[in-house]
Amino acid sequence: MKASKDHLNIKNNKFLFVASISMLIYSILEILDSIVIVLMVLNLIPNISLFFQFYVPLIQQLLESQPLSLAPIFWAFSLMRVISTVGLFKNLLWGFWIGFVSLFITMILAIVFLPFGAFELLACSVILILLIVGFCENKPIIKS
């Protein structure tokens, strides 16, 4: 019975709750982004030139030469975030660590995609701060 009560505590920790919802929204947006790329490559929807104008030259070159190369990367990180969200909603420590690792790696990779990567850096930073603050709560650095 105690284990089931522990699972409900995630809603009591507002930082972790907001972080997990933010990660879920972030992963859904990333999945939709990669689906749009696939649909444009397959000519099922028109090429949205505005969509491509926001990308840096490296991404533009990849989209022109190997348009589907970015989709599996987006899906892998989105899957990690969805799994993390499930773990966080169940108040399980592995959910925190999977989210932490996926956000940290995304922040490192986002530097390659600057200036567009600045949006990724900002989003990941906010969610990562929420995760850490929610995990640590009011624990002191040095216990007396």
* Total domains present in the chain: 1
Tell me, yes or no, whether 104 lies in a domain.
Answer: yes
Tell me, yes or no, whether 79 lies in a domain.
Answer: yes
Tell me, yes or no, whether 64 lies in a domain.
Answer: yes
Q: Contact, 45 vs 36, CB < 8 A?
A: yes
Q: Which residues contact 139 (CB under 8 A, 6 or more apart)?
A: none
Tell me, yes or no, whether 142 lies in a domain.
Answer: no
Asked whether the predicted pLDDT for residue 93 surpasses 50, the reply is yes
pTM attached to this predicted model: 0.77
- Containing structural domain, residue 50: 2-136
Tell me, yes or no, whether 98 lies in a domain.
Answer: yes
Question: Residue 1: its pLDDT value, please?
Answer: 42
Sorting pLDDT into bands at 50, 70 and 90, what band is 101? Answer: very high
Taking only the tens place, the pLDDT of each residue in 51-60 is: 555 556 666 6
Tell me, yes or no, whether 51 lies in a domain.
Answer: yes
Tell me, yes or no, whether 49 lies in a domain.
Answer: yes
Q: Which is nearest to 29 in space by CA: 127, 111, 137?
A: 127
Taking only the tens place, the pLDDT of each residue in 11-53 is: 888 999 999 999 999 888 888 877 877 787 787 877 665 555 5
